[in-house]
Amino acid sequence: MRFVSVSSSSADLFVVGGGPAGLATSIFAAQRGMRVTLMERGVLPRDKPCGEGLMPEGVRLLDAMGVSVSRSHPIHGIRYVDESSGVVEGRFASGIGLGVRRHEMSRAMVRRARTLGVRLQEGVRVQAVRYHRTGVVVELDREKVEAPFLVAADGLHSQLRRDAGLERTRGRVRPARYGFRRHYQIPPWTSFVEVHWARGAEAYVTPVGSDEVGVALLWHEPAPSYEAMLRRFPTLDARLRDAPVTTALKGAGPLRRGARRVCRGRLALVGDAAGYLDAITGEGVALGFQSAQAVVRALTSGQGLAGYETAHRRLRRRHVVMTEAALLLARHPWLRRRVIGALSLHPRVFSRVISAVAHTDERQEELRLKLQAPVGTLDLS
């Protein structure tokens, strides 16, 4: 390959990846006055296999970005359905979630980013990055550009994470998990995200409009087809049997990918690129928004990226505990039956668990930090 030029960019920040985490980073940074260039290998707005349930903290951050989606469905909590042991549901303690199609959320975020002056480059694939003491040089298909900082938001299988030597390669071996999603034209029967549990798989039903639901299947015990997998959930299968399918099947996986650290010099990883456990708790997008906000705070605090590593570790801690607990239930049906049976007798306990997953106490956490932080070291406005 021949590079045609080396140009010093007028950007303060390069963002690679136009998914929710990359767009959120660009928007938060532009709101703080940074000049941002985002590079996406595909076309914007983007679609992606996803359960499309946005937790209340994600909705709050979407609002903070000034993004408004035009088609969505409110989500008031999570309902667990295990056909052999019963049903338990928990309401979010505060705020509401949203069921929103990925294409619609991307469209609204792209529009907001453009309004704020973010330079969006589509159809651009980052080939390699070179790191210097004062900045980064990004090699694109036909040119090289320079900027002081680079945020890699290039998703689950992040090439930039790998190339920077940040990929976590060791860890406990577990059954690989994959996900598929598809949409059906049917009026939602609930404003809860329904999680149906079965042998080796879960089905997530998310209302995404007044006449459409999304169904995401996650599994570690494969079946020959999506239809065969759906038959493991007889009640759901019967409900959807006559509903027209509105989208093509899209899949992703294996889902578990790790990062040893989330910063190296002038590079920071955000969203799935910073490590991903599983879609089982439906937190990926909200966590991506939170990491985007944290990296921009670090960059604009005058301390470079130093604070982001710690902030990200704190953000992930609760997510890791919740996700590992849910995966334990997915792997052990006898334990799941006992837990769902017990929680159905104490629905308030389940609501507390759901609210912890939904990060609805984030504002209290911000308040706590604000009170602890010496003046001038943390900007939480």
Ligand X SMILES: Cc1cc2nc3c(=O)[nH]c(=O)nc-3n(C[C@H](O)[C@H](O)[C@H](O)COP(=O)(O)OP(=O)(O)OC[C@H]3O[C@@H](n4cnc5c(N)ncnc54)[C@H](O)[C@@H]3O)c2cc1C
CA distances from 117 to 28, 40, 131, 191, 225 (A): 12, 16, 26, 36, 44
105 binds ligand X (CB under 6 A): no
Among 95, 271, 275, 307, binds ligand X (CB under 6 A): 271
Spatial CA neighbour of 103 closest among 169, 188, 19: 19
Residue number, 53 or 77, with CB nearest to ligand X: 53
Residue number, 137 or 341, with CB nearest to ligand X: 137
Q: What angle do CA 273, 276, 353 make, to 5 degrees?
A: 135
Spatial CA neighbour of 283 closest among 104, 275, 224: 275
16 binds ligand X (CB under 6 A): yes
Contact region for ligand X (CB under 6 A) — 46-54, 297-305, 310-318, 351-359? 46-54
Q: What angle do CA 168, 170, 171 make, to 5 degrees?
A: 105
319 binds ligand X (CB under 6 A): no
125 binds ligand X (CB under 6 A): yes
Among 62, 285, 296, 311, binds ligand X (CB under 6 A): 285
Contact region for ligand X (CB under 6 A) — 51-59, 67-75, 85-93, 308-316? 51-59
Angle between helices 20-31 and 102-115 (to 10 degrees): 20
Contact region for ligand X (CB under 6 A) — 5-13, 42-50, 76-84, 307-315? 42-50
Q: How far is the CB of 348 from ligand X (least distance, A)?
A: 24
Residue number, 49 or 85, with CB nearest to ligand X: 49
Among 60, 79, 181, 297, binds ligand X (CB under 6 A): 181
279 binds ligand X (CB under 6 A): yes
21 binds ligand X (CB under 6 A): yes
Tokens read off for 5? 């030029």
| Residues 197-216 within binding reach of ligand X (CB under 6 A) | 216
99 binds ligand X (CB under 6 A): no
Q: How far is the CB of 58 from ligand X (least distance, A)?
A: 6
User: 197 with 242: CB under 8 angstroms?
Assistant: no
100 binds ligand X (CB under 6 A): no
129 binds ligand X (CB under 6 A): no
Tokens read off for 338? 């006992």
Q: How far is the CB of 189 from ligand X (least distance, A)?
A: 18
77 binds ligand X (CB under 6 A): no
331 binds ligand X (CB under 6 A): no
Residue number, 54 or 339, with CB nearest to ligand X: 54
Residue number, 91 or 161, with CB nearest to ligand X: 161
How many residues interact with ligand X (rule CB under 6 A)?
41
Bond into 254 cis (ω within 30): yes
Among 12, 52, 82, 362, binds ligand X (CB under 6 A): 52
Among 283, 290, 316, 358, binds ligand X (CB under 6 A): 283
User: 38 with 270: CB under 8 angstroms?
Assistant: no
Residue number, 52 or 82, with CB nearest to ligand X: 52
Contact region for ligand X (CB under 6 A) — 45-53, 108-116, 312-320, 359-367? 45-53
88 binds ligand X (CB under 6 A): no
Among 56, 90, 97, 179, binds ligand X (CB under 6 A): 179
Interface ranges with ligand X (CB under 6 A): 16-22, 39-42, 46, 48-54, 125-126, 153-156, 159, 179, 181, 216, 218, 252, 271-273, 279, 282-286, 288
